[in-house]
């Protein structure tokens, strides 16, 4: 039976303040998950250091001396950073693994010589651009709420959307007791239904679908077309490509 660690120091004779690297940073650098997801792995008791389960955020480790495992599997040294851009199709999960055996985005990027994880999410019924990486620092930069990285969506909603509805989206409305950030939105076309372009600066779960459901215009189609300044109209659903060094530099500029 595994024992829970009672001290956050993992190197004999030292304290966390004296030596080592934060455990969540080590996991992110090794390509296990983004730093935020690595924190969840630690808190849920899935990480061991030297045979002890560690659940304390801020724990520091010596990557040369300490033995680190996640779900029983050893964590190696940091991989070379790899980031790819995928056009996620509908009917695919934005996760690394599904216990029910449903298709995931990792099924679409087989052959990449790195252990990738998705940066953020697109829901099952949505499609569009999604980054996958093993670079935990880049993932943290793109998903941290304080950085407000814009994401652009092309959205088809039911019915004709008038100016008062657009103004509500632009100024924000309350979801779960908290007001959404102002979101630029413009009408692209309208017949019996309406196509819109929406830009979000935050990443609440199913945010666009919930907003327009609240306003009486359920979403019929949703496609992410840009992440920050990164876009690619040539990628077809299911296709992916590596990012260029220039594109990665642009993404690293968000802070």
Structure confidence by residue, pLDDT tens digits, 242-252: 999 999 999 98
- Per the rule left: phi > 0, alpha: psi between -120 and 50, beta: everything else, 20 is left
Cβ atoms < 10 Å from Cβ of 6: 7
Whether 71 is catalytic? no
What secondary structure, in 3-state letters, does 19-78 show?
CCEEHHHHHHHCCCCCHHHHHHHHHCCCEEECCEECCCCCCEECCCCCCEEECCEECCCC
φ, ψ dihedrals at 231, nearest 5°: -145, 160
Note the pLDDT tens digit of each residue in 117-151.
999 999 999 999 999 998 888 988 898 888 899 99
Note the pLDDT tens digit of each residue in 32-72.
888 888 899 999 999 999 999 999 998 999 887 888 999 98
Q: Which of 62, 123, 137, 232 is catalytic?
A: 123
Query: In whole angstroms, how far apart are CA 125 and each of 10, 44, 90, 150, 226?
Result: 44, 29, 5, 21, 18
242 by DSSP, 3-state: which? Answer: strand
Architecture per CATH, domain 150-227, reads as 2-Layer Sandwich (3.30)
- The C-alpha atoms of residue 24 and residue 144 are separated, in whole angstroms, by 15
Per-residue pLDDT at 41: 92
Task: Establish whether domains 83-145+230-252 and 150-227 are of one fold.
Answer: yes
What pTM was computed for the model?
Answer: 0.73
Query: Domain spans of the chain?
Result: 3-74, 83-145+230-252, 150-227
Report H helices in the chain.
23-29, 35-43, 136-143, 163-171, 207-214, 245-252
Write down the CATH superfamily of domain 3-74. Answer: RNA-binding S4 domain (3.10.290.10)
Say whether domain 83-145+230-252 belongs to CATH 3.90.1300.10.
no
């Amino acid at each position: 039976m595994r024992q829970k660690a009672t001290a956050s120091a993992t190197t004999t004779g030292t304290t966390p303040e004296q030596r080592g690297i934060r455990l969540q940073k080590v996991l992110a650098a090794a390509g296990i998950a983004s730093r935020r997801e690595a924190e969840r792995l630690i808190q849920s008791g899935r990480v061991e250091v030297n045979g002890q389960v560690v659940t304390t955020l801020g724990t520091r480790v010596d990557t040369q001396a300490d033995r680190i495992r996640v779900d029983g599997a050893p964590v190696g040294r940091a991989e070379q950073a790899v980031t790819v851009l995928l056009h996620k199709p509908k009917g695919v999960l934005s996760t690394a693994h599904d216990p029910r055996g449903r298709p995931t985005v990792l099924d679409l990027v087989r052959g990449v010589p790195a252990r990738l994880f998705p940066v953020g999410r697109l829901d099952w019924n949505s499609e569009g651009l999604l980054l996958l990486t093993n670079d935990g620092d880049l993932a943290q930069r793109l998903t941290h709420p304080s950085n407000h990285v814009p994401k652009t969506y092309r959205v088809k909603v039911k019915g004709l959307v008038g100016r008062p509805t657009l103004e509500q989206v632009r100024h924000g409305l309350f979801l779960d007791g908290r007001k959404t950030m102002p979101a630029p939105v413009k009408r692209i076309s309208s017949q019996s239904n309406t196509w819109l372009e929406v830009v979000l600066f935050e990443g609440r779960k199913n945010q666009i679908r919930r907003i327009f459901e609240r306003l009486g215009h359920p979403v019929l189609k949703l496609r992410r077309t840009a992440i920050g300044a990164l876009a690619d109209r040539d990628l077809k659903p299911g296709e992916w490509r590596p990012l260029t060094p220039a594109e990665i530099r642009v993404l690293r500029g968000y802070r």
